[in-house]
Amino acid sequence: MLIRKSDPNAIPSSEITPRSAYMNRRAFMAAGAAGAAALAAGGLTEFLHPAEVHATTKLASVPSPLSTTGLKLTSFDDITHYNNFYEFGPNKGDPAANAGSLRTRPWKVEVEGEVKKKKTFDIDSLMKLHPLESRVYRFRCVEAWSMVIPWIGYSLSEFIKQCDPLPSAKFVQFLSLDDPSQMPGIRSVNLDWPYSEGLRMDEAMHPLTLLTFGLYDQTLPNQDGAPVRVVVPWKYGFKSAKSIVKVKFVKKMPHTTWNDMASNEYGFYSNVNPHVDHPRWSQKTERVIGAPIWKQRQPTLMFNGYADQVAGLYKGMDLKKNY
Ligand SMILES: Nc1nc2c(c(=O)[nH]1)N[C@H]1C(S)=C(S)[C@@H](COP(=O)(O)O)O[C@H]1N2
Ligand SMILES: [Mo]
């Protein structure tokens, strides 16, 4: 078997292929008899992304008062074809191309650690634990690009209440599925699997922190972390663990995948902060995925625009040290 270990420091930043160029290249490659047939049968999306829009089902939700208003939504096509999901490969197009092999049923989420009693939630009952809301959030990747995504889910706090954490629980750790038979990137990408992320308890209990099951009007496409992920809108995207199978309540700050990989580049807190640059690039501005060229760069907002709601969580903390 060919094992390719990617350069662990090779997080592309400035050299990310513009979406438009990517689309054109794909369209070019897909051209020909098969592409033409797909176009005739199914329309443009199927032509541009043959067999890559993974099976989802419609998911009903109610609009949430916690939605961010006044923003232009990123297209479904961009949200599902410009991804980071290293279990399926290191490049932005890899998750869409490879995540079809992920099996999202049956799916269980185990709860353990500092809780009254260990519990296991079946995904279908987890989705019914609380009414599903549609929440539009800004989404900011540490690589200095951003999207606006209409997620579907409910506040993680609703789930945490059902877990009966003990007072000794100070942090929550999220662990993603670690199955190389479904996730080809696990063998080829040099990260410490399973993907691990964590939040301080008060961050996890904040109403904006979303346990997420869908986007737009449907269940999460595999490449976006089906069947369940976390979304923390004021933090860099890597804090939002995908395809979660275990939630662990712990006493001490848990280890996290990107902090393990390069602790000087990716801190535990990773709050979006225009005043604290990544060692290899600026965080002052961000590239808006899908925007026309002349509107592509915008200033980065403190806490990704959620400062009014979350700045209090970090009162008295030096955010340059606690990056
Ligand atoms: N399990 C897992 N979760 C993950 C990642 C990953 O590689 N594996 N990448 C993170 C990063 S860096 C980002 S920016 C977001 C991307 O989410 P999206 O592809 O749905 O936009 O997922 C995060 N969650
Ligand atoms: Mo990211």
DSSP string, 155-168: EHHHHHHHH-B-TT
Closest CA to ligand 1's atom 8: 85
- Ligand 2 centroid from CA 117, angstroms: 34
- Residues 55-82: pLDDT tens digits? 899 999 999 999 999 999 999 999 999 9
Q: Contact at 8 Å (CB) between 103 and 182?
A: yes
Which of 238, 243, 265 gets mutated to test ligand 1 (max ligand atoms within 8 A of its CB)? 238
* Alpha-carbon gap, residue 57 to 96, rounded angstroms: 17
- Ligand 2 centroid from CA 249, angstroms: 24
* Alpha-carbon gap, residue 272 to 238, rounded angstroms: 11
Q: Mean pLDDT across the chain, nearest whole number? A: 88
* Alpha-carbon gap, residue 274 to 257, rounded angstroms: 23
* Alpha-carbon gap, residue 204 to 171, rounded angstroms: 8
Both tokens of 93, joined, read: 């197009």
Closest CA to ligand 1's atom 10: 238
Per-residue pLDDT, averaged over 251-266, amounts to 97
pLDDT value of residue 1: 38
CA 266 to chain centre: 16
Cα-Cα-Cα-Cα torsion 293, 298, 300, 301, nearest 10 degrees, comes to -140
pLDDT value of residue 53: 54
- 274-278: which pairs have CB atoms within 8 A and are 24 or more residues apart? 274/299, 274/300, 274/301, 274/302, 275/302, 275/319, 275/320, 276/319, 276/320, 276/323, 278/13, 278/142, 278/144
* Alpha-carbon gap, residue 290 to 18, rounded angstroms: 9
For the chain, give every domain's residue range: 18-314
DSSP bridge pairs for 136: 150
- Ligand 2 centroid from CA 89, angstroms: 14
End-to-end CA distance of the chain: 39
Among 1.20.1260.10, 3.90.420.10, 3.90.1170.50, 3.50.50.60, what is the CATH number of 18-314? 3.90.420.10
User: Residue 130 pLDDT > 60, yes or no?
Assistant: yes
Q: How does residue 5 score in pLDDT terms, banded at 50, 70 and 90?
A: very low
Instruction: Write the single-letter amino acid at 84.
Output: N
* Alpha-carbon gap, residue 182 to 102, rounded angstroms: 5
User: Residue 157 pLDDT > 70, yes or no?
Assistant: yes
